[in-house]
Copies of this chain bind each other. A is one copy, B any other.
Amino acid sequence: MSAGKIEIPKTMTAWVLGGVDELLKVEKPVPEPGPAQVLVKIDAVAICGTDIEVLLHGPPALIEGGPPFNKNFTMGHEYMGRVAKLGPGVDAFKVGDRVSVEIHAGCGQCERCREGMYTSCLNYGANYPGNDKGHRANGFTTDGGFAEFAINHVNTLAHVPDHISDEEATLIVTAGTAMYGLDVMSGLYAGKSIVIIGPGPIGLMAVAVAKALGADPVILTGTRDDRLEMGKKLGADYVINAKKEDPIQAVKKIYPKGVHYVMECSGATNALNEATQMIQRGARICLAAFPGEPYPVDLAYLVRNNVYMYAIRGEGNSATHRAASLISQKRINVKPLHTHTFPMDELPKAFKYARERIDNALKVVVVNKK
């Protein structure tokens, strides 16, 4: 697996944000890994819905007083590749190792990082000259993967075994996010009922992870039959098309006493209110997505039923490592999510496919020539 030395040029081709909805191909210096960092030769990158958001609106708000919008910024956070060079003090990886990445490396110094909640780092975004606490969010606050090389903190890397393809490996971080969402609700899923709302990539991975951990039944709700079919392939015991039947009634028919868990991955305005009607008293809800606008929520229902609601950001708790292990053990099959591959050179076309869901595109991956 460790293919030995990887040649490192002085400069590399990278895609950077131009104006709104504009991707520019430029030549950039190959960066140098610092202490606890690794230079990764990028082999494959999946396009995430968030990438499309960033392309259209710029990166999400950073910490107050943070840096202005960077016109030389490279997006891309769902990537994998090979270790090309080790920074000082790194020995957990060898040059040539295949690795996938997670997005967040916390500052390691704030109260949240000291608790292990590095995706909720209080120094989010603080890694620029004048305020370098060391936080890094690949493709959000630091350069990401739509390039030939990228710097990564060692904490964000997970080994990828040979029997997992490059394209599959780009999906590890998505599976890790789904797993983190399941983590925060509970560690015990065997024999427990769960509804997953929204068959996007995170929702579909949540189906697969929940099933791998023994949840039963796993119920997936959505509005498109092809996605729901994919959910079945990934392990959903039941799927509900919310356009064809009332999802609350349908869940209650399958599991009359109300389910133990709901993981909301759709961002639909009424999803949380629907979730509160599907559950049993003392249930738990995870919000992995959210509507763009505030929406009336029936808080009374949450209080009367003693519901705990976990809103999550990112892929914390080293969940990516555990997801990588389930994929490696063939407990989760990520292959169905991957629908299209383009060369890195055709990134704008790849974005078009992802954005317009051309040809039922789900996960569109771009690859560098090896």
Contacts from A to B (Cβ < 8 Å): 35-36, 60, 88-89, 91-92, 108-109, 111-122, 124, 131-134, 154-155, 179, 183-184, 186-188, 190-192, 212-214, 216, 257, 272-273, 280-282, 287-300, 302-314, 316-318, 321-326, 328-329, 331
Contacts and interface: CB of A to CB of B under 8 A. Distances in A.
A323 B191 CA distance: 8
What are the 6 tightest A-B residue pairs by CB atom distance, in nearest-first order?
A187-B187, A191-B325, A116-B116, A120-B282, A294-B296, A302-B311
Contacts of A214: 212-213, 322, 325-326, 329, 331
Contacts of A118: 114
Contact of A36 (B134, B310, B316): B134
A297 B292 CA distance: 11
A120 B281 contact: yes
Contacts of A124: 281
B184 A308 contact: yes
A3 to B, nearest CB: 23
Given A89-B132, A122-B257, A293-B296, 13 more contacts: A91-B131, A112-B281, A116-B116, A121-B281, A184-B308, A188-B322, A272-B299, A290-B302, A290-B304, A303-B311, A304-B313, A306-B313, A308-B310
B155 A306 contact: no
B311 A309 contact: yes
A238 to B, nearest CB: 14
A273 B294 contact: yes
Nearest to A312: B306
Contact of A309 (B117, B183, B282, B309): B309
Contacts of A113: 108
A109 B318 contact: no
A109 B317 CA distance: 13
A289 B304 CA distance: 9
A120 B313 CA distance: 27
B308 A299 contact: no
A307 B91 CA distance: 26
Contacts of A134: 35-36, 89
